[in-house]
A = this chain, B = another copy of it.
Amino acid sequence: MLPKAIVLLSGGLDSTTCLAIAKSEGYDCYALSVDYGQRHIAELSAAQTIAKHFNVIEHQILNIDLSTLGGSSLTDKNLQVQDYSNSKNIPNTYVPARNTIMLSLALAYAEVVGAYDIFIGANVVDYSNYPDCRPAFLSSFEHLAQLATKVGAEGQSIRIHAPLLHWSKSRIIQEGLALGVNYGMTVSCYRLSKEGKACGTCDSCVMRKNGFIELQTQDPTIYNT
């Protein structure tokens, strides 16, 4: 029997690559997607296709409406998603405590299915200065997971894997392509049109585009600009 892993799967480029890596490392994968009131649900529908493609054991979609709380342009329709700017400030697409919430839910799921490994596509290089993508945050969560759970209290180690953490976007794409990822299935844009076209100018689009350009590879995304 293969060891089990929970993989956080948004349907974007990073988390899809992360799932491919978890599979290649020999885990039976349980995918977890969280519908937290994002602007569009194209990501979730991509997540479903991807989970199926990678033959996960189970794909859970949890609903939690963080738009009630607001505080981010991704969940609050009154805030506009900004264009990419190469600044050190945290952009308004930052969702308060998002990765803490995602990892907590993954931890609950891990405890239920008996998994001790959690994969998250966090990345510190291209990732817009989000505080909850930093290595220190992830180590701190791993420490917390040990204390937070029944299995942890009984001495079992719980590991948080962030294989993409120090990779550039082009390296992520390169590794994913080597594992057979079809990036046409993934959605990155923060403000996808109803027709499924990516804006090409939000943080997420710009970073994706540059990754493919650097790699001199065709990006299967259809861009508006």
User: A41-59, CB under 8 A of B: which get 1 and which 0?
Assistant: 0000000000000000000
Q: A111 is contacted by which of B60, B96, B104 (Cβ under 8 Å)?
A: B96
If over half of A's interface residues share one DSSP class (helix, strand or loop), that class is named, otherwise mixed; here it is helix
Q: Are A97 and B131 in contact (CB under 8 A)?
A: no
How many copies of this kind of chain does the complex include? 2
The 10 closest A-B pairs by CB, nearest first: A71-B112, A96-B111, A97-B108, A131-B153, A64-B64, A96-B108, A137-B147, A97-B107, A100-B104, A101-B104
Closest to A70 in B: B112
Question: Please, could you name 23 A-B residue pairs with CB atoms under 8 Å apart, sorted by A?
Answer: A60-B68, A62-B65, A62-B69, A63-B64, A69-B108, A70-B112, A71-B108, A94-B150, A96-B108, A96-B109, A96-B149, A98-B108, A100-B104, A100-B144, A101-B104, A101-B105, A131-B147, A131-B148, A131-B150, A137-B144, A137-B147, A137-B148, A140-B143
